[in-house]
Structure 1
Amino acid sequence: MISKRYNIARHLLAVLVLVLSSIFLMCGCGAKQAGQAGAGKAKEQGQVDVIRLAGGDWGYPTPYAVYPRGPGGFKMCLIFDGLLERDEKGLIPWLAEKYEVKEGGKQYLFTVRNGVKWQDGKPLTAEDVKFTFDYATKNPMVWGALDKKDIQKVEIVGDRQVLITVTEPNAAMLYKLGMVRIIPKHIWEKVDNPKEFTAPEAVIGTGPYRLTEYSKEHGTYRFEAFDGFWGPKQRVKVIEFVPVSEEVLAFEKGEIDLAGITPDVLPRFQKDPQYKIVKSPAFWGYRLLFNMKDYPILQHKELRQAIAYAIDAQELIDKVARGAAVPGSAGILPPDHVMYNPGVKQYKPDLQKAGELLAKLGYDKLDENGIRQNQKGEKLSFNLLVSSGEVRLAEVLKEQLARAGIEIKVQSVDMKTRDARVRENKYELAITGHGGWGNDADYLRERFASYSKGGALMASAPGTPGYQNEELNALLDKQRLEFNDQKRKELIFKAQEILAEDVPEIPLYYTTGYNVYRPAKYDGWMFMFDHHSLTHSKLSYLERG
């Protein structure tokens, strides 16, 4: 990863000067095509010179070098487009002006938009799209990763048409294919180690913004509007991510133009007409993970249920999230999800019930410190892995579980180390927080489906090592083959009921929070239908009908 400060605009200046005339010619057709992309006929909307937002290093913004968390990926999406994009209601055509699902979900035919150019002036072709999917199946992207087993073949079947044949039908496949970032063949075909490719040309995309500055040390980014962008006109000319020590104070001083705030800070802005406050949907959350594979005691459903009964989600929200969250659902999907089942079993705080379940497992005695133990003297004591930013959450959780006689020893590491250890199953209990809870419900299959192979349990995702439920496997396999939305929803509802009973993990809470901004400065912000952040949508910075 690069460490020095880049001024990428200087590297590209010579190329851009050569193609400037062709780029300006593109602007006229771009507005017309924007309507076809689902943005509607553009209205006359004022342009803002610079929007500044709170910064932080999330990696070099390519599909391969960016850090695998939302803030980095969405910065990268300002540069790189997908075949489809997301607005408030769902998927919309983007680099693909239209698409067809064929052969019962086995094939996807995309018609590539005409007249799109890369930021170095070369035209986007169907060959670029085919190359991207071929390359990405061999070299999975950090963002929009595809499993090479998912794609059977990619063909160019017309002047601007690409036919993708998948190994098996999957109701979530259109979403996945649409989110893959398209990269230029003429640049990436020469790259053998994409994760190490951080040259200036690595950030040439077709998107509305070019990266002109990046500092890993300071966590700063500068994105400038690409004049040759094919789509909706940019309402914001420059987007800067700058370091701030305290986001709310920086907002009040005018150093940044939007800030996330907690309920206790709301009164400072609520009665002042110069501010606008927006509540975020609950698509970012924390979950408690169990490594059942390496710690067989955690395979007991009664133990996991007892832990769920010992947890007071509202206390966590009040003490840690300052009230800006909603309790986790035992069925995993959050209340704002389009397929949320409100009827699943939930675990309200009940220490008596927790104690009964633990006694049933033989842990019916307390030692001198109040820790439960069985007849053999074995204690209910677990190591809890968290990142340094989650220590307060872990400490409150530790207090709650202690009331049920369960000892927790908190192990705090930096976020990257915690993420790596979770991926490698090197933990006993762990807390992880992330977005994506509003994504297609197929993530339940990716997270919880498991299979037996040669007598050994093979979990499909590191979040639930050692968990297996054959009925759930069958339901999750069936839902991915169901293209009728209502029938699929019924299957997802049933899957949530099983998960709520089994408790393979515990969603602690989903954050909501609030954003405050000055509409007189800029008022184009929007949420994507499945995401929690106003600043992450590229449509937030573009003209809309």
Structure 2
Amino acid sequence: MEVKMKNIKKILLASFMIVVLVFTVSGCGSHVNVDNTNGTASNNVDENKDNIESNKDSDGYLVETLKLEGGTDWGTPNPFLNESRGPGTAKMRLVYASLLEKDETSDISWLAESFDFNGNDYTFTLFDNTTFQDGTPLTTEDIAFTIDYFKKNPPVSNSLGAGEKFIVDHYTIVDEKTITITVKEANADTLSSLGSFVIIPKHIWEKVDDPYSYTGDGYLVGSGAYKCTAYEGATGTYEFTAYEGWVNGKQAAEKIQFVPVSDAILAFENGEIDITSMPADLKDKYVSDSSVGIVEKANDMGYKMLINYEKCPDFLDIKLRQAIYAALDRQSVVDNVFRGAGTVGSAGYVPEGSLYYNEDVIKYEYNPEAAKEVFDGKGYNVTLLVADSGDDVNIGEIIKNNLEAVGIGVNVVAYDSATRDTMINNGDYEFALVGNGGWGNNPPTFMRTLFSDESKFSGTNPHSMGAIGYSSKEMTELAEAQVYETDFDARIKIFKDLEYLVSEEIPLFVIANKSSYSMYKKDYYDGWMKTYAYQQAEQNRLSYMAR
């Protein structure tokens, strides 16, 4: 099978993102100066074209600066030091480029001008004159080095796998521009996986033995369209500046800035930031404002509750798990925490609205009396781990009240989300609430790492946080089978079977999915977009490119 992609310049069309921020460049990495030289958005693109064109500066950028809300430290934007959640990965991927990118419909060129595949062989050809941000030529030697280096030192976001699950068998350097990567076993996700790993410069990292602590010369020299020109972890401040040597299209903004703001809505109203999340209860106000564009992310944020069955083995009894679902008033989460902007979660995990959603999964209704009959007199007491910010605390309180009402004592402990994630990955919990975005993305990218005994916990994304101490042969077979099914309709059928089985066995509890909205000043910039596999326009590299 062969696929060849056009230059992104020929297939893109207006996009980008980010935050007002007037700050002193204090260093892109922890407090040090950095010199890297050594979705549907608005429906009124034509209407706003003249306004946007008039914003072009003398260097041809559509806007000088895109400004977004900062204030949270998502880690240093390099492949080994960024936080694994979406905002951390997105910032890193502005600085470091991969071979391919995703647009609204498919995988497209990014560093690779063209690509094709045949069996287990995937061939990529770089654009002419591709360079790293210090001006050093980027060649297939760097791609080969990156593969070898990532096998030994897995980055935070690792599409190539780790250990025995490393997908690359070997590679063949054809010339400075072309490389053929041969995988151990090709499947429906292989192209995206090979297209997703970011390329690091051999001339810098070949001298580094411990990339997880390295902050020396060149540790932020990337291969991407934007250089990191400022980073202050303590304040969550970031600045990215267009790299003039980027060869695949024109950046939309000369600078992207993430700046701390005390009130994001007020900052948006005052023109301090150009895009921000819109509260559901203010939707009517902003929909009626002709200067505001809106990006909807349906059911993209989700919350699940995990049980560590190694510490709480009694809950391997399916009757107890069914009773927990009966105890949880999940509609109250939608109504009171999400203010109606969302849906009760599917027990099959995939949310409503997804192409893969199985409407026939088992539905668990709120029935506290039935749950109380199961738990009455058993004397269970559990600790519930939650994050100490956002909706997590409020949802945790609802879960606590619901479970205590049916006879389960609950002690809620809250930590920052990074600590919470580490504790979950280490199995340091009894019950845990996990909230993360990306539920509206392609289920094939996360279902296997949740429900296959062979592939569990193989990623660092919160989607890979599954049930510790739970095993299912049938679930594993379905989760693994879908990866190797290239017929689209057949793959959906396998997924729906997997969803039904998940809803029947209940290895984890899906609480609710939240729909969210981003609003932006469309007269200033109207290029925000979602991809076929990701709804967060602010975290999409193409949102920052003039398409």
The amino acid of 2:135's aligned partner reads: G
Please say if 1:485 is aligned against 2:488.
Answer: yes
**1:115 is aligned with what amino acid?**
N
The residue that corresponds to 1:147 in the other structure is 162
User: Does residue 50 of structure 1 match 2:65?
Assistant: yes
Distance 1:134 1:523 in 2: 40
Q: Structure 1 regions of 5+ residues with no counterpart?
A: 16-42, 364-371, 453-457
Matched, 1:539 2:542: yes
CA distance 1:518–1:421, shift in 2 (3 Å): same
Once residues 260 and 449 of structure 1 are traced to their aligned partners in structure 2, the CA distance between those partners, rounded to angstroms, is 34
Q: CA separation in 2, counterparts of 1:293 and 1:354?
A: 23
Which residue in the other structure is 2:269 paired with? 252
Q: Relative CO higher for 1 or 2, CA cutoff 8 Å, sep ≥ 6?
A: 2
Give the Å deviation of 1:392.
1.3
Offset at residue 4 of structure 1 (A): 4.7
- Structure 2 Cα separation of the partners of residues 275 and 459 of structure 1: 41
| 8 Å contact kept, 1:175–1:440 | no
Q: Kindly provide the amino acid, as one letter, of the partner of residue 192 in structure 2.
A: Y
After superposition, residues 139-538 of structure 1 pair within 5 angstroms as 139-145=153-159, 146-149=161-164, 150-159=166-175, 160-199=177-216, 201-355=218-372, 358=374, 363=375, 372-373=376-377, 378-389=378-389, 390-437=392-439, 438-450=441-453, 463-538=466-541
CA shift in 2, pair 1:175/1:353, >3 Å: farther
For 2:135, the equivalent position in structure 1 comes to 121
| Preserved CA contact (<8 Å) 2:385 2:432 | yes
Cα distance in 2, alignment partners of residues 86 and 233 from structure 1 = 17
CA contact (8 A) 2:453 2:472 kept: yes
Structure 2: distance between partners of 1:270 and 1:477: 43
Q: TM-score, normalised by structure 2?
A: 0.85
- SS across alignment from 2:444: coil
- Partner AA of 1:287 in structure 2: K
Which residue identity is paired with 1:196? S
Q: How much has 1:502 moved relative to structure 2?
A: 0.8
| 1:271-320 CA distance string (max 9 Å, x none) | 22222222213232111001112211121112112111222222102222
Equivalent in the alignment of 2:33: 7
Measured in 2, the distance between the counterparts of 1:338 and 1:109 equals 30
Pick which of 477-486 and 489-498 moved more.
Answer: 477-486
Q: Give the one of 95, 109, 112 matched to 2:111.
A: 95
- The code of the aligned residue for 1:295 comes to C
CA distance in 1, matches of 2:86, 2:426: 21
In 1, the alpha carbon distance for the partners of 2:473 and 2:498 equals: 11
Amino acid at match of 1:91: D
Percentage of matched positions with identical amino acids = 36
Asked whether 1:74 is paired with 2:90, we answer yes
- Structure 2: gaps spanning 5 or more residues: 1-26, 39-51, 57-61, 459-463
Structure 1 residue 382: Cα displacement: 1.6
CA distance in 2, matches of 1:451, 1:100: 29
Per the TM alignment, residue 323 of structure 1 is displaced from its structure 2 partner at its CA by: 2.4
Amino acid at match of 2:255: V
Which moved further from structure 2: 249-258 or 438-447?
A: 438-447
The equivalent of 1:137 in structure 2 is: 151
Post-superposition Cα deviations, 1:410-461, rounded to whole Å, max 9, x if no partner, equal: 1112222211110011111000112233145252221121269xxxxx9876
Cα distance in 2, alignment partners of residues 281 and 274 from structure 1: 22
Tell me if structure 1 keeps the 8 A contact 2:302–2:513. yes
Conserved 8 A contact 2:344-2:512: yes
**Letter paired with 1:7:** N
Distance across 2 between alignment mates of 1:523 and 1:51: 11
Which of these two proteins has the greater Rg computed from alpha carbons? Answer: 1
Equivalence for 2:17: none
1:282 touches 1:532 (CA, 8 Å); kept in 2?
Answer: no
Give the Cα–Cα distance (whole angstroms) in 1 for the partners of residues 444 and 514 of structure 2: 19
Q: Is the 8 Å Cα contact of residues 28 and 231 (structure 2) preserved in structure 1? A: no
CA-CA distance at 1:167 after TM superposition: 2.8
The alpha-carbon distance between structure 1 residues 313 and 89, as it changes in their structure 2 partners (threshold 3 A), is: farther
Q: TM-score, normalised by structure 1?
A: 0.85
